[in-house]
Structure 1
Amino acid sequence: MMPTLGEAMVRVGRHFGKRPATRDRQGETTWRDFSERITVAAGLLRGLGINSGERVAIYARNSIRFDELKWGAFHAGVVAVPVNWRLAPVEIAHILEDSACEVVFVEADFLPIFDMTELAPWRDKLICLDGESSAGIPHYDQLFKTAAGVGLSDVSPDDDALILYTGGTTGRSKGVRLSHTNILSCAAGFTLATRGEPDDTYLHLAPMFHSADLLATGWILMGAAHVYVPAFSPAAFLDAVLEHQVTMTIAVPTMLMMTLTDPVLESANTRSLRLMGFGASPMDPAWIRRTAQGFPHTQLFNCYGLTETSPALTVFDPAEFQRAIEHDSPTLASVGKPNCLVDLKVSNSEGDDLAPGETGVLHARGPNITKGYLNMAEETAAALSNGWLRTGDIARIDDDGYVYLIDREKDLIISGGENVYSSEVETALYQHPDIHECAVIGTVDERLGQIVTAVIVAKPETSLNSKAIIDHCRELIGGYKIPRRIEFVEMMPKNALGKILKNRLRATYSK
């Protein structure tokens, strides 16, 4: 039977006790010491009267303490609810209310936000996680000093371990329930597919409130070392790689694009970085090749998944990905093949399974699939049917098993009766040398129903105009796919992982 995350950590401490668990400027902590601290963190939670199955929120940037507290919750059978610190107060209030958190652990820098009217009801539930606390707010360090280590709670591997709230890009954010089995099974498949090694030093680059951070779980289970960047910047990323000789990390395309266009990369030493994956949003092949040039000593790979899948569904094998880059293979446009334990299929609107090469809605099943959304039975029923999760992505799977994402269902544009996939238009646009970023959406048109609308961020010191873009597109895509409306902006609205928020663009340009 699959263990719980708490049981898995006990084994890590026992089997890899002398190996380094964490590294920072204060030194190293071994897995034996870290696993012992986790039992004390669990004792701290029990001392607060928090029982198995109850929930606590963590509102903080990436840190060793974040992981210590999260794994302490796993040990105690308490459900952790990481909160996106970039959200507005009303959005944070929704998460805390919906999840009914007993306590909110807060980084000191974020304490003032709880003076806002929307968050005032939770002020008496705060515990300061680091730094200096405000008057009357308990501090984690003081509670930790008086707590004692405790044994494992009697919880099932299928019980909730974590609730992660989706970004709310389609409306009210949903609490995705992830069990111990979900997280561990995904970790096993992902680490195997990416060829993780116990001697790796893993850099936590993506925000720890996001499901992408769960991809580090396999490296925890094999006793690798871990380094934490509180918040991403190209300099912080590259400095951490050099200082701690980082060998493995997961990034998102926006992070890589920011790093590749920052002068700091020219003098950076990234020789230690043997492996780097990216996902969360599609990356144009031109940017993939540029990433390979910018990190010449690093083996790259692509991956794909959802919060609901804990999160990985596919990985593009690193060695095969390298060959695809070198030979400019068309498979470079794919997100790889399904991980072990994962089953994928493509279906049409009637629910019929489609043959390889045909385009439809991607469905997934496996032990890494969520049991559903917290307090949202109707949405859960719509997403899950007979063990299959409807991903909401339009895709095709070729004869060799490579998965190609075509678009999100909600991003499909129907113009004059023709289906236009926004990703296809974006791929054409990105081939223009003066375009830095673009997003394609459908906007209302009385005659055609919708028209293709391109929102463009031009590169600095260029004189890009609509005519140049239209002329460029005529060479690459059919006439009905060419943007009929072009809007230039200085900056795209994005979520915490740098994914462009098309719902906000639609709201802006549908007026």
Structure 2
Amino acid sequence: MLTLTSALQNTIRLYGGNRAIVDAEVELTWRDYGAGIARTAGMLRELGVDKGQRFGIVGRNSYRQAELINAGFWSGSVPVPVNYRLAPREIAAILDDAECRYLALDAAFAALLETPELQGWRERALFLEPGSYDDLKSAASPLSLVEAEEDDDALMLYTGGTTGRGKGVRLSHRNIVANALQIMRVLSPREDDVFLHTTPMFHAADMKSTIFTMFGAAHSYLPEFTPVALLGAIERYRVTVAGLIPTTILRLLDEPRFKDFDLSSLRLISYGTSPILPPLIRRTMAAFPGVDMQQFYGLTECSPYLSTLDQAAHRQALDGDEQVLSSAGRPLPGTDLRILDDTGNEVPCGQSGEIVVRGPQVTKGYHNRPQEQAAAYREHGFHTGDMGRLDENGYLYLLDRKRDIVITGGENVYTREVEEVLGQHPGVREVSVVGVPDAEYGEALFAVIVANPSWQPSGDELIDHCRPLIGGYKIPRKLAFVDALPKNALGKVLKQDLRETYGAKAGELESA
């Protein structure tokens, strides 16, 4: 069966003596880890989280968070990992929308429970720390595996919304396991692998780890990224596969102590969020001799992957046509990916349109969002909102995003949400936010502001206004004040004009 319960059960049965967790605190076999998962599942039951009910998690990467997520799969309850970078009101809105029964959070985020928005969770919260969490788990009775059906909800992840309301994406057991099998060929998992979780576990990209679980490999967790911490983890835990983003790769290569670390265990760097230009590919492969590189493109709604530029394509491109390195690779097996125009007709090869997909990894839908679901799921399949084109060899090239999403440092940000927050400041008359190229983060948020004549706010003032209202990564760091925004005849701001005007000179503009 294509279920995570079946996958966990098989891994424990077939690879029980293999290492499952390789961590600073513990090293566990799959047999011992499985026993911990069953006891954690029992703890969830005793806390009142029943089958089909949801519980929230706010925490940095850790084996305890992974154990709790797996316990959700084991017990039939649904984990809802939440972005800890969000403002308290945003976290509260997600927990309420998901109808979570309980909340687990790192002790480092205990102050969240003192905020007006989240103080009501005090009586329904536990801390993911060595003392209280482990004591509570030890006191619980192990829960027998609750066998899931393939279409049961397994995980709910929240993605941003153009109106500022996050959408809960319902990912089924079948979605996640099917996508794991789809990416198996390119990741080539081995039972002696050590997969390093560098991507935050609230992010869909972390789900690539599922295939390593299915092959009895080990997992290690990086709580917080710094170049030295990541390089040190590779050396200490003999990591073989790491999932990175272009920003992270660049910071690793710029680390003065890079050559001080033994990175010989690493065999594969799997990257995503955006293509990497050929010079950086060459630099990375020179810095990591013998290490392959592989790229994924996807969305949360697709569990999350749709296409891949595999290792062979990287090597061939560097020996020949480098243009393919600007692509997102070819669609995964079992993925029906088409480029459609606004009338729903497939466009000829090489022409642009919206990327529309069908496949076993496509989510069953959104939670409590019937209108958004109807707009995204139509007769032709799931409309991604991304614009792209396919070349004659089946390579997918991403062109733009219909809903003005900006990807900065691997995080998705919807500009309308940022505009609404900035627009609440009394000194802002009009505002438009776009993404501009950034050497470190891929894209940076850029705000173009028309100030009220009676109040000329500074950049620092606007940032201070945003801090309590949205997550820090959503706050624009570059801005410009103008007399008027470019608009069409209907009064709609011409964002493409702003991108063209400010994108080329982003480095010269004011940073707040």
Post-superposition CA distance 1:182-203 (Å, at most 9, x none): 0000011112233222221110
Cross-structure match for 1:47: 46
Cross-structure match for 2:310: 317
Contact 1:454-1:486 at 8 Å conserved across structures: no
Within a 5 Å distance, the mapping from 1:61-460 to structure 2 comes to 61-131=60-130, 139-168=132-161, 171-386=164-379, 388-411=381-404, 426=437, 444-446=485-487, 450=494
CA distance in 2, matches of 1:439, 1:358: 28
Distance 1:440 1:359, change over 3 A: farther
Post-superposition CA distance 1:226-266 (Å, at most 9, x none): 11111111111100111111110111112112222221223
TM-score by length of 1: 0.81
Contact 2:80-2:155 at 8 Å conserved across structures: yes
Q: State the AA in 1 paired with 2:292.
A: Q
Following TM superposition, by how much is the alpha carbon of 1:440 offset from its aligned partner in structure 2, in angstroms? 8.9
Contact 1:193-1:339 at 8 Å conserved across structures: no
Distance 1:486 1:213, change over 3 A: closer
Q: State the AA in 2 paired with 1:70.
A: I
Q: State the AA in 2 paired with 1:295.
A: F
CA distance in 2, matches of 1:250, 1:371: 26
CA distance in 1, matches of 2:172, 2:380: 15
Post-superposition CA distance 1:420-462 (Å, at most 9, x none): xx99x95xx97xxxx996559897315896375678xxxxxxx
Q: State the AA in 2 paired with 1:128.
A: F
Distance 1:451 1:25, change over 3 A: closer
Match of 2:508 among 488, 492, 504: 488
CA distance in 2, matches of 1:378, 1:11: 39
Q: State the AA in 1 paired with 2:136.
A: L
Distance 1:110 1:484, change over 3 A: closer
Distance 1:483 1:202, change over 3 A: closer
Structure 1 vs Structure 2 CA RMSD: 2.7
Q: Secondary structure at the match of 1:324?
A: helix
Post-superposition CA distance 1:456-510 (Å, at most 9, x none): xxxxxxxxxxxxxxxxxxxxxxxx8896875635779xxxxxxxxxxxxxxxxxx
CA distance in 1, matches of 2:494, 2:38: 57
Size of the alignment, in residue pairs? 446
CA distance in 1, matches of 2:205, 2:233: 19
More divergent stretch after superposition (370-379 vs 281-290): 281-290
Structure 1 stretches of 4+ moved >6 Å? 440-443
Distance 1:488 1:149, change over 3 A: same
Distance 1:491 1:150, change over 3 A: farther
Post-superposition CA distance 1:138-179 (Å, at most 9, x none): x32222111122222243210111100114576221111100
Following TM superposition, by how much is the alpha carbon of 1:320 offset from its aligned partner in structure 2, in angstroms? 2.0
5+ unaligned residues in a row in structure 2: which ranges?
406-433, 449-484
Q: Secondary structure at the match of 1:445?
A: coil
TM-score by length of 2: 0.81
Cross-structure match for 2:22: 23
Following TM superposition, by how much is the alpha carbon of 1:297 offset from its aligned partner in structure 2, in angstroms? 2.8
Distance 1:387 1:57, change over 3 A: farther
5+ unaligned residues in a row in structure 1: which ranges?
133-138, 413-421, 456-479, 493-511
Contact 1:441-1:452 at 8 Å conserved across structures: no
Distance 1:170 1:397, change over 3 A: farther
Cross-structure match for 1:477: none
Contact 1:114-1:120 at 8 Å conserved across structures: yes
Following TM superposition, by how much is the alpha carbon of 1:268 offset from its aligned partner in structure 2, in angstroms? 2.9
CA distance in 1, matches of 2:374, 2:106: 36
Q: Secondary structure at the match of 2:155?
A: strand
Q: Secondary structure at the match of 2:242?
A: strand
Distance 1:338 1:451, change over 3 A: closer
Q: Secondary structure at the match of 1:263?
A: coil
Q: State the AA in 1 paired with 2:120.
A: P
CA distance in 1, matches of 2:91, 2:495: 35
Q: Secondary structure at the match of 2:157?
A: strand
CA distance in 1, matches of 2:267, 2:494: 46
Q: State the AA in 2 paired with 1:116.
A: T
Contact 1:451-1:483 at 8 Å conserved across structures: no
Q: State the AA in 2 paired with 1:275.
A: L
Distance 1:156 1:490, change over 3 A: farther
Cross-structure match for 1:460: none
Cross-structure match for 2:411: none
CA distance in 1, matches of 2:44, 2:216: 25
CA distance in 2, matches of 1:222, 1:158: 23
Q: State the AA in 2 paired with 1:324.
A: A
Following TM superposition, by how much is the alpha carbon of 1:26 offset from its aligned partner in structure 2, in angstroms? 4.1
CA distance in 2, matches of 1:23, 1:74: 21
